[in-house]
Amino acid sequence: MGLIVASAIALVLILEGLLPFLDPGAWRRMFERALQMTDAQIRLVGLASLVAGVAVLLVFGP
């Protein structure tokens, strides 16, 4: 189980690193927009991400 968690964290880090590596300008613009968002908007994005992640796990998970 520890190997699965470590692999999942590694995959998240790889995916999170792609945009700043490939297009740092787009990454910077994205964060500038995020700074202008309200807490409620940020929470909604977080909730959508959580729901999408759970859906992917349910469809493709073990």
Asked whether the beta carbons of 26 and 19 are under 8 A apart, the reply is: yes
Using DSSP, state whether 49 is helix, strand or coil: helix
Q: Is 35 helix (H, G, I), strand (E, B) or coil?
A: helix
pTM of the model: 0.72
Per-residue pLDDT of the chain (62 residues; tens, 9 = 90+): 788 899 989 999 999 999 999 999 999 999 999 999 999 999 999 999 999 999 998 998 77
